[in-house]
Amino acid sequence: MSQPPTTAEAPGTVIGIDLGGTKVLTAVVAPDGRILSRDKMSSRGTSGYEELLARIAGSARTAADTAGIALDTVAAVGIGVPGTVDQDAGVVRIAPNLDWRDVPVGSTLTELLGLPVIVDNDVNVAALAEHRLGVGQQLSSLLGVFIGTGIGGGLSVDGGLYRGAHQAAAEIGHMVVKAGGPRCPCGRRGCMEALGSRTSITREIARRVAAGKSSKLVKLAGGDVRNAKGGALRKAYIGGDKLTRQVVDKSARYVGIGVGSLVNVLDPAIVALGGGVAENLGDRYVQRVAKIARRYIVDETARAVPIVTATLGDDAGVLGAALLAQQLSRATTAPAGPAVVETAA
Ligand SMILES: [Zn+2]
């Protein structure tokens, strides 16, 4: 990273925060992308956003203490949030998992920490991290597809994230891959999320078990397949459980159709598949998605696009948020400057 030092003590050190529906990960990150310290806490059990943001500020202080740096030497803070974000205003418009609507995350955290803060969507920042620090290094663009309880995505191109005219781009989980298909949490039918997420996989296995099919996943998940976490799904899938394989492979097909269509539109230099499903199910799953995707890619050259497993795992969120904070600190003239600064154009 080439930004000039902003303080004598800890030049360009930033804090990256990954706010999830169940936990908050915080990391102090050096200018070269090394994680100097971490903090982890639950995001549950708070009443109102003020309390949660106060606890997040506490987590940032703890992480700075652990790294042995004074908070006022931190150049900027970045935070990824699971929802739609008005980045210019630093406001989270809607975050269903947190039950948030129009929450001024940027200005509130700036007040609490005395530092410039930049806010973005959690999967956007994860895609940025995979591009700059993970599988996409040195490449011109990266499409990140994150498959977990839902499906999200991000498009990182030279110069930054592609956000779209209304900061609503890369909602790839809601690309329709089967018209009239199963109902999606968004209310529509046949979205990639409704056919490819872990929720959709376990729901379909549960449905077939209820209809009389047997599956090792029942025992692995402690009796109810719908509660199966990534580890249990992995054991059943890798271990060759017939029903799990059938359902997962079918869901991989729909993700493959989605990825193939996205490559036709975007022609990225690499596609990174991340999130709990892709990371737990490993090569067999990723290769299946890639194989199907290639059938749908029209251009012969683009068909050779690498479609690989993301490598940063749980760190993608904090590292991506830290990268945004670095961009912010480069764009900010004074360390305690405005909370609202546009990132790369
Ligand atoms: Zn949807």
| Residue-level pLDDT at 5 | 44
Kindly give, in sequence order, each residue whose CB lies less than 8 Å from that of residue 200, ignoring residues fewer than 6 positions away. Answer: 182, 193, 194, 251
Please give the Cα distance from 320 to 311 (Å, whole number): 13
* CATH number of the domain residue 161 falls in: 3.30.420.40
On whether both 100 and 206 belong to a single domain, the answer is no
Distance, CA 66 to ligand 1 centroid (Å)? 41
On whether both 320 and 256 belong to a single domain, the answer is no
Distance, CA 185 to ligand 1 centroid (Å)? 6
| Inter-residue contact 318 to 81 (CB < 8 Å) | no
| Residue-level pLDDT at 331 | 83
Which residue range(s) make up the domain with 323?
A: 14-122+314-331
Is 81 inside any structural domain? Answer: yes
Q: How many distinct structural domains can be found in the chain?
A: 2
| Residue-level pLDDT at 47 | 84
On whether both 43 and 160 belong to a single domain, the answer is no
Distance, CA 151 to ligand 1 centroid (Å)? 9
Is 1 inside any structural domain? Answer: no
Is 342 inside any structural domain? Answer: no
On whether both 116 and 139 belong to a single domain, the answer is no
Specify the residue for token string 């930033």: 14
Distance, CA 175 to ligand 1 centroid (Å)? 7
| Inter-residue contact 236 to 272 (CB < 8 Å) | no
On whether both 114 and 94 belong to a single domain, the answer is yes
On whether both 34 and 106 belong to a single domain, the answer is yes
Instruction: Report every protein residue that has its C-beta within 5 angstroms of ion ligand 1.
Output: 174, 184, 186, 188, 191
On whether both 141 and 267 belong to a single domain, the answer is yes
On whether both 155 and 251 belong to a single domain, the answer is yes
Provide the residue-wise pLDDT of the chain in tens; the chain has 345 residues: 444 444 433 348 999 999 988 899 999 999 988 999 999 999 888 888 999 999 999 999 999 999 999 999 999 999 999 999 999 999 999 998 889 999 999 999 999 999 999 999 999 999 999 999 999 999 999 999 999 989 999 999 987 899 998 888 889 999 999 999 999 989 999 999 999 999 999 999 999 999 999 999 999 999 999 989 889 999 999 999 999 999 999 999 999 999 999 999 999 999 999 999 999 999 999 999 999 999 999 999 999 999 999 999 999 999 999 999 999 998 874 444 444 444 443
Distance, CA 198 to ligand 1 centroid (Å)? 14
On whether both 276 and 202 belong to a single domain, the answer is yes
Please tell me whether residue 39 adopts helix, strand or coil conformation: strand
Is 8 inside any structural domain? Answer: no
Please indicate, yes or no, whether the overall pTM of this predicted structure exceeds 0.85: yes
Distance, CA 195 to ligand 1 centroid (Å)? 10
On whether both 296 and 163 belong to a single domain, the answer is yes
Rounded to the nearest 5 percent, the helix, strand and coil shares of the chain are 45, 20, 35
| Residue-level pLDDT at 4 | 44
Is 341 inside any structural domain? Answer: no
Distance, CA 341 to ligand 1 centroid (Å)? 31
φ and ψ at residue 318, rounded to 5 degrees: -70, -35
